[in-house]
Amino acid sequence: MAKIRVKSNTGNLYFDFQYCKNRCREYTSLPDTKANRKKLEMIMERIQAEITLGAFQYGKYFPNSPMVQKLAEIEARQRPGYRETPLFKDFAKEWFSEMEPTWRKSTAETYWRYLKSRLIPHFGKMEVSQITKSDILKYRSNVAKQSDGKLKPKTINKFIKCLNMIMNEAADRFNFTPPHLNIKPLKEEKVHIDPFSIQEVNLILASVRPDWRDYLLVRFFTGMRTGEIDGLKWENVDFERREILVRETFSMGRWEYTKNDGSQREIEMSTLVFNCLKDRYKNRNKESDLVFYANNGSPVHTPNFLRRVWTPLLAYLKIKYRKPYQTRHTAATLWLAAGENPNWIAKQMGHSTTTMLFSVYARYVPNLTRKDGSAMERLLASNIDGFHGQGKKEDTEDTTITVSDEVDLNQAEAEESAFWDQFLNPGNPSHFGGTL
C-alpha cells in the first residue's frame, strides 16, 4: 500500500509504494509538516491513479532516480519478442579480448583505457540491447560538460567511436538495430600544419651537434614518422636502389608493425639523404643494426631527445617551437615547392591517395607550384581582345615558404649535390645538442 513516511535519521518525508512488483522509495528534502504531508499525499494519489490506468511514467515524477533505468529494463523484458542480452561490461570485455590480436599494442592499450575509464563505468550495468540513441547522446553531452573544455571534440569522438564498434558487433550478434546510427560526430577543429621554412631547416642543421645532424636531416627530407625513423635498421636501407624501406616502427619502448598497411612503403632517397646515410654507414657501429641510436646503443628515447636536444635547440636559435612531427610536414611542403608529382609525394608519405595531401597541404600548393591562376591569365591574354592593361595579374613572389633561387629541389642531381654540400659541411662552430 502506498504511503508517505518519515525518514527517522533526517525527519524528512518520502514516498513508499509498489510498482511493477518492486518496492519504490523516493526521498524528499521536505520536513514532516502538515502542509508538506498533504502536498505529497496528493501527488501519491495521482501516482496511484496513473498506475491503475497504466499511464504512470516513473521518470516524470522522479527523473533522477536510479529506479528509472531499472524499471525501463523491466518494462523492456515484458515487451513481446524480447531477447535477453549481456550487460555492456561483460560484452565489451569479450569484444576486446577477441579484437586485441588484430591491433597494434598501442591501439589495444588505447581502447582498453577508453573502456576501463570511460565506457564501462557509465554503460556497464546496462544490457547492450537496451542502450538507446538518447543514452549515447546524453553520455556524450555529459562528458563534454564535465571536461569543461579540457577534452577536445576529437577526443570525445574517439570514445564514441569505440562504443560504436562494440554496439555494431552486439547488434550483429543479437539481432537489434544499432542505437548510434545517424549520430553525427562532434565538429572537430581543423588541424593546421606548421612546417619549417628552408632557412629554418638550414639553421637547425648548421647549429645542432654533429651526432644529431644526420638524424634531423633524414627526418626533414624523407617525411618519416618518429617511430619509423627511430626503428630504422640498416637492413632496410637499400643503397643499390637508393630506397629506405619502411617496415616496422619503434614506439613507446617496443617494436611494432607500421601505423597501417599503407605505411609500409619505399622512400626514394634524394642525393642529400643518400650521401648522408652512405657516410654514416661507413662509420657505423657494427654492433648495432640501428641507423640511429642513443649512446647506449638502444633506439632513440623520444622524451630525452625532446628535453635535451630538440626543445633547447629551437629556443637557442629563437625559432618558434614545433613538435618534431612537423619535420614530416616540412618534407611534404618542400616536395610541393619543387613541383613534384602529387602521386609520388603521397607514396613517399605513405598515403594511399592524394586526398589527404591536398586537404592538409592545400594552401602550399598554388603559389609553390606556380599554378595560382597565372595559367588562366596567360590564356586570356592570348585570346581575349582588350585584355591587356585591364588589371592583368602579375606573378608575385611566394611568401608561404621562401625557397631561395639557389635551392631548386627539381634541378639535376649534380647541381643538387653541390648546393646541399653546405649542409654536409656547414662550417659553423656553434653546434647545439644534448647527449642521450
Domain ranges for the chain, please list them: 3-77, 88-174, 198-354+407-424
CATH code of the domain made up of 198-354+407-424: 1.10.443.10
pLDDT band for position 250 (cuts 50, 70, 90) = confident
How confident is the model over 262-269, as a mean pLDDT? 88
Between 301 and 251, residue with greater pLDDT = 301
Give the tens place of pLDDT for each residue, 75-132.
Answer: 666 665 556 789 999 999 999 999 999 888 888 999 999 999 999 999 999 989 889 9
pLDDT band for position 384 (cuts 50, 70, 90) = low
| Rg of the chain on CA atoms, in Å | 32
Q: Which among 272, 246, 320, 248 is positioned nearest to 426, based on CA atoms?
A: 272
Identify the three-state secondary structure at position 333.
helix
Q: Is the pLDDT of residue 348 over 80?
A: yes
Q: Is the pLDDT of residue 328 over 90?
A: yes
pLDDT band for position 204 (cuts 50, 70, 90) = very high
Give the tens place of pLDDT for each residue, 11-20.
Answer: 999 999 998 8
Give the tens place of pLDDT for each residue, 125-166.
Answer: 998 988 999 999 999 999 999 888 889 999 999 999 999 999
Topology adopted by domain 88-174: DNA polymerase; domain 1 (1.10.150)
CA contacts within 13 A on the Cβ side of 408:
8
Q: Which among 371, 334, 81, 89 is positioned nearest to 199, based on CA atoms?
A: 334
According to DSSP, the residues that pair with 22 across neighbouring strands are 19
Q: Look at residue 263 in the predicted model and tell me its pLDDT.
A: 78
